[in-house]
Structure 1
Amino acid sequence: MKFTLTALTAAMMATTAPAQTTVQSCDRQVTFDAPPKAAISNDVNLTEMMLVLGLADHMVGYTGISGWKTLDVEMREGVAQLPELSAKYPTKEVLIGADADFYFAGWNYGMKVGGEVTPETLDPFGIKVYELTESCIHIGEKSAASMDDMYADLLNLGAIFDVGDKAAELVAGYKADLESFTATLAPLEAAPRVFVYDSGDDAPFTAGRYAMPNALIEAAGGTNIMNDFEKSWATVGWEAIVDRNPEVIVIVNYGDVTAAQKREFMTSNPAFADIDAVKNDRFVTLEYVEATPGPRNIKAVKTLAAAFRGE
């Protein structure tokens, strides 16, 4: 009888024990015994991924937004119950002090290679890290940025927090929306040459082949003039931009310098007078949260597609 009870108890324990979940995070596999209960996200786009999955109740705060960007009405409502723990990149002490058990960030999205906040430095404190897929190029090799980068992050977050059905539903909806939209687009005689102007006067900070705008531009029917630039977000010389003569300029709107000011800088500078986009006044603005991986990428593709077609 004693043996029977022991076996039954073991069977019950086996059926009720939480299942482990393992996801790929850049070059690491990360295993979770249970969904995190004290998560922190860095940056506005990563935070929005958490919110669309309904994970605010699993979070103890967010970081890295007010130091550079502002929250729109939708985002303010979503994080109203949460504190911003650091205006810019958090220190290790900030994350530990919040009793965090999970940090959703990326390389140059809250972490720096060789910095004090990395998966390795946080592991001894029980803080697991999931890295933004787009950012993995900073620590290894990956293919050019694609919409699949954003989809993968949502699906992996869904698995980590045990909301896989919700994540799968969202991703399926995004894919269907994008597919139906692109199917109705008027064809272009040729893909317009597009320059992404993030920031910088002396030298522009722009999107190379591994940054999300590369994928957004292609999905909308254009060609990123820096698609052979083996970088994610990085600085180039103005000479390269002038030589490649973009037909459309995409301005990323955030920070102290407004989109209008960036546009004025380009249109008033004699060095850019012969650029087709400047001569023809073909500028389009994307908000930071649209130009970086996140739920608003589909809207960004629609905005770009309209601009490429003169709408």
Structure 2
Amino acid sequence: MKKSLFALAFTLLSAPAFAFPVTVDSCGKPLTFDAAPKRVVVNDINMSEMAFALGLQSSMVGVTGITGWYKLDDAFIKQQGSIPELAPKNPTLENIIAVQPDFFFAGWNYGMRIGGEVTPDTLAPYGIKTLELTESCVHLDKNRPAASMELLYGDIEKLGKIFGKEAEAEKLISGWKTQLAQIKKKVGTNSGTRVFLYDSGEDKPFTAGKFAIPSAMISEAGGVNIMDDLESSWATTSWETVASRNPQFLVLLDYQDDVGYKKLLDFLKSHPAMKETDAVKNERFVALRYAELTPGPANIEAIEKIAKAMHPEAF
């Protein structure tokens, strides 16, 4: 009997501790959970991939804001499985509460809009707690640090804590950091390439500024975002500004529609100022998907793609 009790005590002491309640930060506000959420809705492809990376599918009762914007690859479809999409674009309050969730993972301009129908405050009366994507918090508070890979790491850590999967989160982050260290080692001193990210827009280009994760990704790949002084995350600038900074390399957002990134490249080649820039004249670019350029697991391979295209000699 004593042996059995000792063995039980040892087992309990050596088991991983997922103690609740837990509290995480969500855009500067504490968010407390007495237990792991059981009915989860996640907005957007990048945040869904975060949830999938931690194996949260069994708790997910819906995703939103995916097929109305993007074509899905087989890997995403397989991970999504039977989880229904509640709204192809931005969800309504009705879309969300219809499945009686207790947790919503979204961001500002990632399924939620300031003063809109779906916000943490409008969901709270229904017993729904909202974790806000950290990159998007700049829309509430401009006094934030410039983008770094902590935007991804921090959100994965929070999800791990909320769902009792801290060990899994730590393993993911450790692996990503190892991959990035290997990329940096290869790139070495080949740094400082001037990079412009072109998302969309013809009258004015829509791009990634100081607070958007592509700025950090470009840095990790050995480049400099020429718009890293734009005091925003995703915003418009002027073609005059971009051309005057003469980018040497382009990151083109490929929405995988009928024309994809080629439409962007063709436009740049015809633009009177941009066609004279080094990047356009030399056709130096990489095309990346939306999920690769918004906070999510796909960021790591995307950084390697940027680095390889920018510094092929290093690989």
* Structure 1 length-normalised TM: 0.91
Q: Which residue of 1 aligns with 2:304?
A: 302
Residue 168 of structure 1 and its aligned partner are, at CA, apart by 0.9
1:283 partnered with 2:285: yes
Q: Where does residue 183 of structure 1 map in the other structure?
A: 185
Could you give the per-residue CA deviations for residues 164-205 of structure 1, whole angstroms, max 9, x where no partner exists? 1111111111111211221232422x5111100001111110
Q: Which residue of 2 aligns with 1:47?
A: 48
**Residue deviations 1:23-66 (CA, integer Å, cap 9, x gap):** 01111110011111110111000000000100000100100011
Could you report, residue by residue, the CA deviation over 1:125-181 in whole angstroms, capped at 9, with x for unpaired residues? Answer: 101000111111110121111101100000100111111111111111111121122
AA aligned opposite 1:241: V
What amino acid does structure 1 have at the position aligned with 2:161? A
**What are the within-5 Å matches in structure 2 for residues 58-73 of structure 1?**
58-73=59-74
Match of 1:270, SS?
Answer: coil
Aligned to 1:168: 170
Distance in structure 2 (CA, Å) of the matches to 1:273 and 1:166: 47
C-alpha distance in 1, partners of 2:290/2:121?
A: 29
Between stretches 225-234 and 18-27, larger displacement belongs to 18-27
Check whether the contact 2:256–2:289 (CA below 8 A) recurs between aligned residues.
no
| Superimposed CA distance per residue, residues 104-136 of structure 1 (whole angstroms, 9 cap, x where no aligned partner) | 000111111111111111101101000111111
Q: Which residue of structure 2 aligns with residue 96 of structure 1?
A: 97
Superposed structure 1 runs of 4+ greater than 3 Å apart: none
Does the CA contact (< 8 Å) of 1:68 and 1:255 recur in 2? no
AA aligned opposite 1:178: L
Letter in 1 for 2:154: A
What SS does structure 2 have at the residue aligned with 1:293? coil
- In the alignment, the residues of structure 1 paired with residue 129 and residue 267 of structure 2 have an alpha-carbon distance, to the nearest angstrom, of 43
- TM-superposed CA distance for 1:18, in Å, is 6.8
Matched residue of 2:200: which SS?
coil
**1:56-77 Cα distance to aligned partner (Å, 9 max, x none):** 0010010001111121111000
Per-residue displacement from partner, 1:273-302 (whole Å, max 9, x unpaired)? 211111111111111111111001111111
Q: 1:18 to 1:218 in 2, by over 3 A?
A: closer
AA of the residue aligned to 2:152: M
Q: How far, CA to CA, are the matches of 1:310 and 1:276 in structure 2?
A: 17
Task: Find the aligned partners of 1:67 and 1:142 in 2 and give their Cα distance.
Answer: 31
Indicate the residue corresponding to 1:231 in structure 2. Answer: 232
- Give the equivalent residue in structure 1 for 2:83: 82
| RMSD, matched Cα | 1.4
Q: CA contact under 8 A between 2:183 and 2:307: conserved in structure 1?
A: no
Letter in 2 for 1:295: P
1:39–1:60: 8 Å Cα contact kept in structure 2? yes
- Over the matched positions of the two proteins, sequence identity in percent amounts to 49
1:63–1:84 CA contact under 8 A, matched in 2: yes
SS at match of 1:245: coil
Calculate the TM-score normalised by the size of structure 2: 0.90
Amino acid at match of 1:206: T
Distance 2:274 2:312 in 1: 21
For structure 2, the residue ranges without an aligned partner over 5 or more in a row are 1-17
**What is the distance in 2 between the residues matched to 1:271 and 1:228?**
21
* Distance in 2, Cα, partners of 1:115 & 1:19: 32
In structure 2, what is the equivalent of residue 219 of structure 1? 220
Shift of 1:241: 0.9
8 Å CA contact 2:199–2:207 kept in 1: the answer is: yes
In 2, Cα distance between equivalents of 1:132 and 1:273? 36
What is aligned with 1:248?
A: 249
Residues 206 and 151 (structure 1 numbering): CA distance in 2 closer, same or farther, change over 3 Å? same
The letter for the 1-side match of 2:140 is: I
| Matched residue, 2:267 | 265
For structure 1, the 5+ residue unaligned runs are 1-16
The residue identity in structure 2 corresponding to 1:269 is H
8 Å contact from structure 1 (residues 18, 33) kept in 2: no
State the shift of 1:80 in Å.
1.8
Aligned residues: 294
